[in-house]
Amino acid sequence: MLHGPGSTGRLTTTATTYYRVFFFRGVGMKIDKDWVDAYFDHGIDVANRRVFLGDIDADTVDKAIKGMYLMETSDPNKPIELFISSYGGTIYDALALYDIMQTLTCPVHTFAYGKCMSAAPLLLAAGEPGHRWVAAHASFMHHDWAAEFEGKGEFVKAEVKHSEELGRTWTNLLADISNKDFRWWNDRSKRSADFFFSADDAIEWGLADSIWNEKS
């Protein structure tokens, strides 16, 4: 059994359960099977008020929202930390999480690392101003929304109209939350299939506040 710096623990097993006790920064916290399952299977760490988001889809967003509301119930003022490393996902689920973040009474501090692409940059930018962090070598990408439609003409026309409205909504949100306007974001998305940018660009354009280089 291994112990990290500043931690102590004991592992016991029975036929059905196990537990380990760690002490982080002088605070005791029991890590049991439920914690382990929630953390590694769903990216939810209620005890430390952390949510880890990869693919942005109905399943991951549903779990993130449930975890955030549970954390808010536990302490409505203490920040929640949302860690994002994502290639993106569906616009519906991204907007669902964005909207829920606006309803929480506790601030959400956001962190981007690895990749923050497609639907993910808006969620980074939706964090508490002054607490939106990016890893120095994180890669960002923004693009126009794409969809494939099949069916009768009227159905396809309705779907295209809806997709265009969603795209405008998304671009308006980016413009509201950054220091670039609608036309700027819209032009970048139309220039090429994928518009890549850096962590420094994200900070300069108002999607994030600072480079994340914390050590303790």
pLDDT tens per residue across span 148-158: 556 566 777 88
The helix (H) or strand (E) run that includes residue 32 is strand 27-32
Tell me the backbone φ, ψ of residue 161, rounded to 5 degrees: -60, -45
Dist CA 113 CA 83 (whole Å): 8
* E strand segments, the chain: 12-13, 18-24, 27-32, 44-45, 50-53, 80-86, 108-117, 132-134, 139-142, 195-198, 210-211
Helix (H, G, I), strand (E, B) or coil at 6: coil
Q: Where are the domains of the chain?
A: 1-38, 43-211
The CATH topology of domain 43-211 is 2-enoyl-CoA Hydratase; Chain A, domain 1 (3.90.226)
Handedness of CA 81, 87, 91, 93 (dihedral sign): negative
How many Cα atoms occupy the beta-carbon half-sphere of 6 within 13 Å?
A: 7
pLDDT score of 67 more than 60:
yes
- Among 50-54, 55-59, 116-120, 149-153, the minimum mean pLDDT is found in 149-153
pLDDT score of 72 more than 90:
yes
pLDDT score of 89 more than 50:
yes
Do residues 57 and 86 lie in contact, with contact meaning Cβ atoms separated by under 8 Å? no
- Using pLDDT thresholds of 50, 70 and 90, give the confidence band for residue 16: very low
C-alpha distances in angstroms, 96 versus 61, 63, 100, 146, 173?
A: 8, 12, 6, 19, 13
- Write out the catalytic residue numbers: 118, 143
Query: Taking all residues of the chain, what is their mean pLDDT, rounded to a whole number?
Result: 83
